Amino acid sequence: MKRYFIIYEGTVQGVGFRWRLMQIARKNDLSGHVRNCENGKVECEVQGENVDIFLKESLLPDRFVKVRDHFVKQIPIKEKEKGFTVRFGNDT
């Protein structure tokens, strides 16, 4: 199992990107969260067995989403974390 902290840049806000990431995470039985940043980027923490599949699928363009760049860092696992959520503002 791995946990990634990911920052996405590009056309990623106001286009349903967070909801798409939530669907990918739930489909792959992953936990974590995603949120918009004030600088126009989207940040995500995701963990589970299929995080590499999540990362690959999250970078695929669609009609509205265009990920121009991304940053990935492996971080420590959060034990007992369940589910994947979309966070708003400074939710923790």
Q: How far is CA 83 from CA 23, 38, 42, 65, in A?
A: 11, 24, 19, 24
Instruction: Write down the residue that tokens 């860092």 correspond to.
Output: 73
Residues 61 and 38: their CA atoms lie apart, in Å, by: 22
Residues known to be catalytic? 18, 36
